[in-house]
Amino acid sequence: MKSVDILLIFFIVLIVRISCSHFRGSMITWRVINSTSNPLVVEILQRHAWNYTWWPCTNTHISAGNYMIGSGSIVCPSSCPPNVSTLSSVTVPCTGYNQIESYVSGEGRFTFRVAPNYRFRAVFTSSAWFSLVTGGGTWSVSTEINTYIRPNGRYNQAPIVTMLPVIRLRRYLSYNIKINVADNDFDRYTCIWSNTSQECGGICRSALNLPASTFLNETSCILHFVPAAVGFYAVAFTVLDFENDTSTTSLSRVPIQFIFNVWDSNVTCSLKPIYIGDAPADQCIFVEPGQNITMFIRIKIQCPNATLANVIGVYPAGFTQSTPFTDPYDTTIYSFKVSYTGNANQVGQNLFCFAGVDSIGNQGDSNCLRFTVQLAAESRNTLYINNATHFPTGLVSKYQSNWTLIYPTGTTFVRPSTEALIRFKITSTQQDFVTYNVVKQTTNVNYLSDRLIISSTVVFNPGQNYYISIDPGVFLPISTCLRDSMGITDKLFWPFNTASEPSTTVTTTTTSRSSTTTLLNRTVPTLRTFITQTTQTTQTKTTTFLTTTTSLSTTIKQIHVFSSFPISGIVDDEDDNQHIESYERLQHSSFNDSEKPRPLLLEV
């Protein structure tokens, strides 16, 4: 009986061990999204990775956006604000997977309410890690939330950390691994080893037996690591952000945990696949909510006779990826299409990170593209935040041509080398009225040491509202991903309008006057034919009325219309003299020269 009990206990432990060994790492961060309410509205962004066999996600699931993965809850363990205990489930939609490395990952957001002026931790903990070279057991991930208002009047946005769920490292090779951080407040940040049980559970630095050469540069967030043993390592880091360069008290603490898969091979070539895609690595790609961005990722294989075997990636929500294909002109290059649609709840940087793996097993460096969703009123550009002096605004002449933006003291900008636009937009339609390319149209955009001068060359429509919109990259290259690389697109920042002009009404009046000469038929002994012509005169008068002044102009145009018609009759000889006298009187009547009828033509 005792042996049966022992066997039963063994299987129970084994089942528990297997069922709980599906964790592959996490990241949890936060921000205040409604600072006008009390309590405040805090948003949690969580990203988790799990064993693929537990939640076998597919591309169809990702497109549908409703395949949920993960289990467990995020809780506040102590010193909690009122009504805050269990924050939410860690179940999130699947956004990516990799069957070769056996992981599935997903991210999601939820909100909860917190009173101002609280500092507390939100923790996700359970057991256990799968078999690791060093460390293991319980996992725990913790983020520190701080609802104190900053000196600049804003609440904090904690950093977002994005790492591949699995990074392949070849034994005995030296690696410098960058921890990818995005701080949407552009605060100074540092990276440290996680060092409390809530932050790292069984994989804290003190629990790991790592080579002595292992070193984390806290300022650059680069880990130097030379793996000595084949197998899996789990590592835990915490990112801290600070108000300024001299502050020693962090605004938040954000965890990141992921896995190293250390391997070895008898194949000597260890050249990594390299990224040669459309956009430079770490470049910010600015996206408006609802806008779709599509581009190609290209990876070049360097080892002879090797092929692309796998792509490891971590994907934000709204992201899709095609199957890689071989370049028809270079069989060492593989391409795949990626597509991202920004969402309004993703304001800020959303990192897509990826690395190619060749058929030998060599993994390339992790590269990230920073899809940055920007709302007009959420720009962190220094000129926008400080409402830098700019003029003119308000009512301007329709011929206004000079526009000036003065830099804050001690700040200067130079003309970028990458094209970007300054746009004059119609407020009602959001359409561009005129644009100026800051690289090509140098006569229209002048960069001085203390100001930017725009010279427009258009006549603006009367009675129209406009605003000036400045694209990302006008002040700093977007490749820097710094705050001043952001655009200023808020229509309330630089609005202006033109005065209405009086309307004009034209009225046309036409009158006609005709003059007719009537001749009496007379009887004469001989048959004669008289041809009579009628002259018709038409007068046209045009009057123009203006709202402010009245002017009258009259134009008289005379139009002569000649009509001939024969009159036949018998005329007595004794009446000939009378007829001639009548004709002479007609010739000397009071007609104007132009109105006189032509002489009658007599045919005998």
The DSSP string of 224-261 is EE---SSEEEEEEEEEEEESSSS--SEEEEEEEEEEEE
pLDDT digit string (tens) for 552-565? Answer: 444 444 434 443 33
Distance, in Å, from the CA atom of 154 to the CA atom of 601, rounded to the nearest integer, reads 103
Q: Is the pLDDT of residue 159 over 90?
A: yes
Q: According to the model, what pLDDT value does residue 553 have?
A: 43
Secondary structure (3-state) at 216:
strand
The pLDDT of residue 388 is above 80:
yes
Whether the Cβ atoms of residue 170 and residue 230 lie closer than 8 Å to each other? no
% of residues, the chain, pLDDT over 90: 75
- Using only C-alpha atoms, the chain has a radius of gyration, in whole angstroms, of 42
Q: pLDDT tens, 296-317? A: 999 999 999 999 999 999 999 9
**What pLDDT shows up at residue 2?**
46
Token pair listed for 523: 């009887």
CA 258, CA 233: separation in Å to the nearest integer?
8
Q: Residue 551 has which token pair?
A: 């002017």
Is the pLDDT at 540 greater than 50, yes or no?
no
| pLDDT band of 503, cuts 50, 70, 90 | confident
> Could you tell me the pTM of the whole model?
0.77
Tens-digit pLDDT profile for residues 425-441 = 999 999 999 999 999 99
pLDDT of 21 reads 67
Quote the strand ranges of 429-562, DSSP E: 432-437, 445-447, 451-455, 465-470, 495-498, 504-515, 526-546
Spatial distance between the Cα atoms of 440 and 417, rounded to a whole number of angstroms: 10
Supply φ then ψ for residue 42, to 5 degrees: -110, 135
pLDDT confidence tier of residue 504, bands split at 50, 70 and 90: low
In this structure, are residues 150 and 251 in contact, taking their beta carbons and an 8 Å threshold? yes
Top-tier CATH class for 398-498: mainly beta
Could you tell me the pLDDT band of residue 602, with boundaries at 50, 70 and 90?
very low
CA 108 to chain CA mean position, Å: 21
Task: Give the separation between CA 313 and CA 104, rounded to whole angstroms.
Answer: 10
Q: Looking at the predicted structure, is the pLDDT value of residue 551 above 50?
A: no
What average pLDDT score do residues 6-24 get?
Answer: 50
pLDDT digits (tens, 9 = 90+) for 439-492: 999 999 999 999 999 999 999 999 999 999 999 999 999 988 999 999 999 999
pLDDT in tens, 411-428: 999 999 999 999 999 999
Of 11, 257, 315, 264, whose CA–CA distance to 129 is shortest? 257
pLDDT of 511: 54
Per-residue pLDDT, 580: 43
Distance (Å, whole) CA 545 – CA 506? 6
Query: Which pLDDT band, with edges at 50, 70 and 90, does 597 fall under?
Result: very low
pLDDT > 90? residue 335: yes
Place 70 in a pLDDT band, splitting at 50, 70 and 90: very high
Report the DSSP pairing between strands 166-170 and 250-263. Answer: parallel
Residue 224 in tokens:
């130097």
DSSP-derived letter for residue 219 is: T
| Nearest CA among 70, 64, 77 for reference residue 47 | 70
* Local structure of 207: helix, strand or coil: helix
Q: How far, in Å, CA of 513 to CA of 561, rounded?
A: 12
As separate numbers, helices (DSSP H) first and strands (DSSP E) second, the chain gives 5, 40
| Predicted pLDDT of residue 509 | 57
| Rounded percentage of the chain residues whose pLDDT exceeds 70 | 80
Query: Taking residues 21-42, what's their average pLDDT?
Result: 92
Q: 488, 377 in Cβ contact below 8 A? A: no
Peptide bond into 392 cis (omega under 30): yes
How confident is the prediction for the chain on average, in pLDDT?
A: 85
* Domain segments of the chain as ranges: 24-376, 398-498, 504-603
**Residue 128 confidence (pLDDT):** 85
- Rounded CA-CA distance 110/108 in Å is 7
Output the pLDDT for position 260: 98
Dump pLDDT digits (tens) for 270-292: 999 999 988 899 999 999 999 99
CA–CA separation, 304 and 327 (whole Å): 16
**Per-residue confidence (pLDDT) for residue 331, from 0 to 100:** 96
C-alpha to C-alpha distance for 233 and 190, rounded to whole angstroms: 23
CA distance 79 to 90: 21
Residue 593 clears pLDDT 90, i.e. is over it: no
Distances (CA, A) of 263 to 29, 101, 270, 307: 32, 12, 12, 18
Statement: residue 142 has pLDDT above 80: yes
598 versus 208: which is more confidently predicted? 208
pLDDT at 36: 87
| 10 neighbors 116 (Cβ within 8 angstroms) | no
Q: How far apart are CA 7 and CA 14, in angstroms?
A: 10
pLDDT at position 127 = 87
